[in-house]
C-alpha cells in the first residue's frame, strides 16, 4: 500500500482525457461500436505510460471477446506499485453515439487483489447514496422503506427526493413503487456509474440510485463513492436459471449484500472521470479550432481530495487520438 502514496489519480486522468477525446469524435454519429473502439484504444495507449504494474480486473470483457483492456490484461510500465484497475472507456456508449447527455470515461485504481469480480454474473441489484445517507440504506428493505430512511437522514421530505433509475422494462415495478412512495424519478437510458456518483454531489440534484445494472459498473461506482464517503449496496442478480446454477457452481453468494468495502477492499482508492458529452457532473469535450477542452473529476479516498480539472488540449494532441479522417473544412471524408 505504501507504494500507492504517489497520487496516481493525476496520472490516471490523462487516460480518461485521452479516451474522452477519442470518443468525442464519434458523438452523435450513431456508431457506438466505433466510439467504444476508439476510446478503448486511446485509454490503453495512455495506460501503458503510467508507472505501475497494473492488471485489469473490470474491463471490456473476457480476452476472447475483447482484444484490448480485457479482464486480466497487464497495463502500465511494469514497475511498482502492483494495482487493480477498473476501466470503462465509455460509460454510456449509446449516449455518446446518439449525442445524448451524460457519457463519461472512467477509471479506478486500488492495490492489487482488492477489487471484486463476479465471474459469469453480469448484473447486480443496487442502491447508492451520497455521504449524508451512507448509513441509512439497507438493500434488504423495500424501496419505500429505504426512501423514508434516506429522507430522514437528509432531513427532507420523501417528495423532494430524486431517484435515478435505468429506463428498462425490468424496472417497471420499482418505478411504480417509487412513485407511490411520493419520490421523483429521473430515468436514464445508460450510464449507471455516473448515476451512482451523482448521488454524492448535491449540485446534480440526485439523491439515490436504485435498480438492476451491470456488475462491473457497481465496482467502478464503489471506488468513486469510497472517495467521497458515499455508500453502495448490491446483491448478485442472475438473469436466468442457467446463470443461477453457474453462480452456485462457482460458490458465489447470491444472498450476500455487497458493500463498497466488499467491492473494493482498500482504503486507498483513486478515481478519475472525464466528460464526453455534457451531463450533471462534468461538461463534455468541446472542440475548437486550436484543439479541444475537457472537464474531469479526480478523487482519492485516503485523502478525501476532490479535484475538478479543466484542460485545454492543443490540436496536435487531439490528432494523436483521431480515428476519423476529416477534410480541411472539418467534414468526415468518405472513401
Annotated binding-site residues read: 36, 60, 88, 91-93, 123, 168-170, 190-192, 214, 217
Radius of gyration of the chain (CA): 19
> How far, in Å, are 57, 215, 308, 311 from residue 247 at the CA level?
18, 14, 40, 44
Distance CA 222, CA 213 (A): 13
Binding residue ranges for substrate: 91-93, 123, 168-170, 190-192, 214
Task: Determine the distance from the C-alpha atom of residue 98 to the mean position of all C-alpha atoms in its chain, rounded to a whole number.
Answer: 19
- Exposed/middle/buried for residue 252 (C-beta within 10 Å: 0-12, 13-18, 19+): middle
Distance CA 226, CA 205 (A): 20
Binding residue ranges for Mn(2+): 36, 60, 88, 91, 217
Helix (H) or strand (E) holding 164: strand 162-166
Task: Determine the distance from the C-alpha atom of residue 328 to the mean position of all C-alpha atoms in its chain, rounded to a whole number.
Answer: 35
φ, ψ (nearest 5 deg) of residue 97: -60, -35
Distance CA 173, CA 142 (A): 12
Amino acid at each position: 500500500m505504501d507504494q500507492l502514496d504517489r497520487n496516481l489519480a493525476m496520472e490516471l486522468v490523462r487516460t480518461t482525457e485521452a479516451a474522452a477525446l477519442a470518443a468525442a469524435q464519434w458523438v452523435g454519429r450513431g456508431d457506438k461500436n466505433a466510439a467504444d473502439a476508439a476510446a478503448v484504444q486511446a485509454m490503453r495507449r495512455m495506460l501503458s505510460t503510467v508507472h505501475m504494474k497494473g492488471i485489469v480486473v473490470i474491463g471490456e470483457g473476457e480476452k476472447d471477446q475483447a482484444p484490448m483492456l480485457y479482464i486480466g490484461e497487464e497495463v502500465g510500465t511494469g514497475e511498482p506499485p502492483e494495482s487493480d484497475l477498473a476501466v470503462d472507456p465509455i460509460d454510456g456508449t449509446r449516449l455518446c453515439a446518439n449525442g445524448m447527455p451524460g457519457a463519461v470515461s472512467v477509471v479506478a485504481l486500488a492495490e492489487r487483489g482488492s477489487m471484486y469480480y463476479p465471474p459469469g454474473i453480469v448484473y447486480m441489484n443496487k442502491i447508492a447514496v451520497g455521504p449524508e445517507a451512507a448509513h441509512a440504506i439497507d438493500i434488504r428493505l423495500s424501496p419505500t422503506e429505504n426512501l423514508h430512511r434516506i429522507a430522514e437522514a437528509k432531513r427532507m421530505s420523501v417528495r423532494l427526493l430524486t431517484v435515478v433509475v435505468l429506463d428498462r422494462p425490468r424496472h417497471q415495478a420499482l418505478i411504480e413503487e417509487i412513485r407511490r412512495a411520493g419520490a421523483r424519478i429521473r430515468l436514464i437510458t445508460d450510464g449507471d456509474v455516473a448515476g451512482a456518483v451523482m448521488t454524492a454531489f448535491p449540485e446534480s440534484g440526485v439523491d439515490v440510485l436504485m435498480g438492476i445494472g451491470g456488475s462491473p459498473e457497481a465496482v467502478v461506482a464503489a471506488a468513486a463513492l469510497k472517495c467521497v464517503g458515499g455508500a453502495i449496496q448490491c446483491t448478485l442478480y442472475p438473469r436466468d436459471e442457467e446463470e443461477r446454477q453457474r453462480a452456485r457452481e462457482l460458490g458465489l453468494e447470491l444472498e450476500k449484500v455487497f458493500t463498497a468495502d466488499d467491492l473494493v477492499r482498500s482504503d486507498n482508492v483513486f478515481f478519475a472521470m472525464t466528460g464526453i458529452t455534457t451531463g450533471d457532473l462534468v461538461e463534455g469535450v468541446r472542440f475548437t479550432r486550436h484543439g479541444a477542452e475537457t472537464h474531469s473529476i479526480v478523487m482519492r479516498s485516503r485523502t478525501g481530495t476532490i479535484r475538478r480539472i479543466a484542460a485545454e488540449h492543443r490540436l496536435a494532441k487531439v490528432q494523436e487520438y483521431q480515428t476519423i479522417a476529416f477534410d480541411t473544412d472539418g467534414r468526415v471524408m468518405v472513401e
